[in-house]
């Protein structure tokens, strides 16, 4: 979803800086997109500090801040490992919180902040208790941030995707057969009859960051093909 959003914003004329913690994948994405890249792990506070410093030194203030890094691991509650709990919370919530916190002095007045949440912040799925809790925390945080930053006309919104065609399930370690079956299952749960495309997330980010959305803040925008209607 980060890749799809970067492509949309680049095509609209923005100066885009992407981040990631896997150097090879980050460099490849930067080459393909023709954008700038900074190696950074959202789960590490020192990396966030370095990211803010490098962005502000090289590019100045920020008009659009899109925070979308996230990880998920599936485990029943009684089998959850503390180290996995900490990893997910550090990336999905703590990292989100401090990325925004540390960037606030470097956001232009009137800037747009968009944070990726998930429909699992408000729905449930067995095995994803920690992931769901981390996204629920993000959705709550967005509302407070929107109030605190409103005096500077900085808008803060969340996007809650449903099933999107990304590498997330591959990163969770599922094999090809499982992935194929999971894709078919997710399609069956989506009234539109397909899963979403990363560029569709990017188009929503672009809209929320445009002048046409200047009266929208503190909102959570579901983009799930209707799956939460079932």
pLDDT, position 203: 98
Q: Does residue 124 register a pLDDT over 70?
A: yes
Q: What is the pLDDT of residues 142-188, one digit of tens each?
A: 999 999 999 999 999 999 999 998 765 555 555 666 666 777 888 99
Spell out the residues 6+ positions from residue 103 whose beta carbon is closer than 8 angstroms to its own: 52, 55, 62, 65
Which whole number is the average pLDDT over 130-147?
98
Instruction: Please report which helix (H) or strand (E) contains residue 101, including its range.
Output: helix 95-103
For the chain, what percent of residues have pLDDT higher than 70?
94
User: CATH number of 2-224: 1.20.1050.140, 3.30.70.420, 3.40.50.720, 3.40.50.300?
Assistant: 3.40.50.720
pLDDT, position 165: 87
Residue 227, CA distances (Å) to 54, 142, 223 in order: 40, 23, 9
Secondary structure letter of residue 218 according to DSSP = S
Which whole number is the average pLDDT over 26-53?
97
The three-state secondary structure class of 18 is strand
Domain segments of the chain as ranges? 2-224
pLDDT, position 123: 95
pLDDT, position 184: 85
Q: What is the pLDDT of residues 85-116, one digit of tens each?
A: 999 999 999 999 999 999 999 999 999 999 99
Burial class of 36 by CB neighbour count within 10 A (0 to 12, 13 to 18, 19+): middle
For the chain, what percent of residues have pLDDT higher than 90?
88
Instruction: Please report which helix (H) or strand (E) contains residue 63, including its range.
Output: strand 62-67
Q: Two tokens at 6?
A: 């970067």
How many CA atoms are closer than 13 Å to the CA of 156, on its beta-carbon side?
Answer: 26
- As annotated, the active-site residues are 131
């Amino acid at each position: 979803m980060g890749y799809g959003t970067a492509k949309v914003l680049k095509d609209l004329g923005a100066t885009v800086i992407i981040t990631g913690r896997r150097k090879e994948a980050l460099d490849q994405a930067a080459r393909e997109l023709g954008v700038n890249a900074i190696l950074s792990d959202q789960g590490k506070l020192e990396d966030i500090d370095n990211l803010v410093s490098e962005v502000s030194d090289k590019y100045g203030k920020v008009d659009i801040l899109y925070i979308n890094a996230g990880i998920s691991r599936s485990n029943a509650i009684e089998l959850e490992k503390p180290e996995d709990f900490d990893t997910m919370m550090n990336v999905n919530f703590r990292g989100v919180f401090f990325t925004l916190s540390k960037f606030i002095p470097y956001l232009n007045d009137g800037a747009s902040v968009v944070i990726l949440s998930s429909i699992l912040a408000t729905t449930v799925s067995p095995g994803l208790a920690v992931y769901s809790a981390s996204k629920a925390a993000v959705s709550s945080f967005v509302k407070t941030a929107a109030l605190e930053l409103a005096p500077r006309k900085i808008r803060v919104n969340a996007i809650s995707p449903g099933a999107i065609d990304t590498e997330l399930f591959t990163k969770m370690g599922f094999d090809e057969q499982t992935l194929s079956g999971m894709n078919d299952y997710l399609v069956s749960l989506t009234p539109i009859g397909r899963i979403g495309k990363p560029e569709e997330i990017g188009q929503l980010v672009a809209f929320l960051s445009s002048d046409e959305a200047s009266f929208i803040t503190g909102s959570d925008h579901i983009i799930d093909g209707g799956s939460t209607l079932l």
